[in-house]
Amino acid sequence: MIFKSIGLALKRVLRPRCVLCQMYEAQDPYPLCDGCRADLAWRGETLAVQDLSIQIAFAYQWPIDRLIHLYKYQARLELVPVFQYGLMQLQRPEVDALLAVPLSPSRLRERGFNQSHELAKKMAYYWNIPLLTGVNRRDGLRQKGLGRGERLQNLDNAFSFEPSDKKVLPRRIALIDDVLTTGGTLLSLAAFLRAKGVEELTGIVVASQHQHDSNK
Ligand SMILES: [Zn+2]
């Protein structure tokens, strides 16, 4: 009896705190307390950014902005379940493969991990969709200020497809990224893949600063 209560007491003490407020207990399976989880700004919508339709889980605002920052710049990988939780509420894409937006080699070295790839791995497992590898990004992608022809030319300087086993690209791919700002990177990657014969592309992001179509 006494051991049981010591065990329970220990369990209470050892239970992890919420990573955000550091005050309340994290509620399994998330590293957040219920209050902080309720504060997440759910969006759950699909945006059309040019010709790419992108599903968005959260609005890029407190506390998700802070969580993403901690995750990316302090390698707080224990936060992955928060983002995963958001992505799991989105519609499963009807595609043949998931692809994480690749990081350039210099960025990858500096960060130590690709934040989008960690999310894509989880979602590939959850949705039971193969994860595509072999699409790489070169250092120094600069698309701003280029004309359309130059942009297309530039894409081959920006990305490459080097499969380890002579695979071809699947017909339909969903691109996974952590944050959508202007959508420039996603659009460039989609254009690169289309030029390589991919027929259907869609985007899935954790959080977006992108507002509704401002041309209206
Ligand atoms: Zn909390």
Q: Please tell me the predicted confidence (pLDDT) of residue 120.
A: 98
Ligand 1 centre and the CA of 63: distance in Å?
Answer: 10
Q: How confident is the model at residue 11 (pLDDT cuts 50, 70, 90)?
A: low
Ligand 1 centre and the CA of 140: distance in Å?
Answer: 39
DSSP, residue by residue, the chain? -HHHHHHHHHHHHHSPBPTTTSSSBP-TTSSS-HHHHHHS-EEEEEEEETTEEEEEEEES-TTHHHHHHHHHHS--GGGHHHHHHHHHTSPPP--SEEEEPPPPHHHHHHHSS-HHHHHHHHHHHHHT-PBP--EEE-S----TT--HHHHHHHHHHHEEE--TT-PPPPSEEEEEEEEESS-HHHHHHHHHHHHTT--EEEEEEEEE-PPS-TT-
Ligand 1 centre and the CA of 144: distance in Å?
Answer: 40
Residue 121 has pLDDT above 90, yes or no: yes
Q: Please tell me the predicted confidence (pLDDT) of residue 22.
A: 87
Phi, psi of 205 (to 5 degrees): -130, 155
> How many residues are there in the chain?
216
Ligand 1 centre and the CA of 40: distance in Å?
Answer: 11
Q: Please tell me the predicted confidence (pLDDT) of residue 15.
A: 80
Ligand 1 centre and the CA of 39: distance in Å?
Answer: 9
Ligand 1 centre and the CA of 19: distance in Å?
Answer: 7
Q: How confident is the model at residue 88 (pLDDT cuts 50, 70, 90)?
A: very high
Q: Structure pTM? A: 0.85
Ligand 1 centre and the CA of 36: distance in Å?
Answer: 4
Segment 156-171 mean pLDDT: 85
Sequence-ordered list of residues with C-beta below 8 angstroms from that of 190, at least 6 positions apart, any chain = 51, 52, 175, 201, 203
- pLDDT tens for each residue of 133-161: 999 998 875 656 667 667 666 777 789 99
Residue 4 has pLDDT above 80, yes or no: no
Q: Please tell me the predicted confidence (pLDDT) of residue 212.
A: 56
Ligand 1 centre and the CA of 181: distance in Å?
Answer: 26
Ligand 1 centre and the CA of 29: distance in Å?
Answer: 14
Q: Please tell me the predicted confidence (pLDDT) of residue 1.
A: 60
Q: Please tell me the predicted confidence (pLDDT) of residue 80.
A: 93
CA distance 187 to 34: 36
Q: Please tell me the predicted confidence (pLDDT) of residue 3.
A: 65
Ligand 1 centre and the CA of 38: distance in Å?
Answer: 9
User: Residue with structure tokens 């550091």?
Assistant: 22
Ligand 1 centre and the CA of 79: distance in Å?
Answer: 13
Residue 182 has pLDDT above 50, yes or no: yes
User: What's the whole-number average pLDDT of the chain?
Assistant: 88
Q: How confident is the model at residue 8 (pLDDT cuts 50, 70, 90)?
A: low
Ligand 1 centre and the CA of 81: distance in Å?
Answer: 15
CA distance 174 to 190: 9
Residue 178 has pLDDT above 80, yes or no: yes
The answer to whether the CB of 46 falls within 8 A of the CB of 193 is no
Q: Please tell me the predicted confidence (pLDDT) of residue 29.
A: 79
Q: Please tell me the predicted confidence (pLDDT) of residue 139.
A: 83
Sequence-ordered list of residues with C-beta below 8 angstroms from that of 37, at least 6 positions apart, any chain = 27, 30, 82
**Which amino acid, residue 148?**
R
Q: Please tell me the predicted confidence (pLDDT) of residue 116.
A: 97
Q: Identify the structural domains of the chain with CATH numbers, from first to last.
A: 1-39 (no CATH), 40-208 (3.40.50)
Residue among 212, 206, 196 at smallest CA distance from 135: 196
Sequence-ordered list of residues with C-beta below 8 angstroms from that of 74, at least 6 positions apart, any chain = none
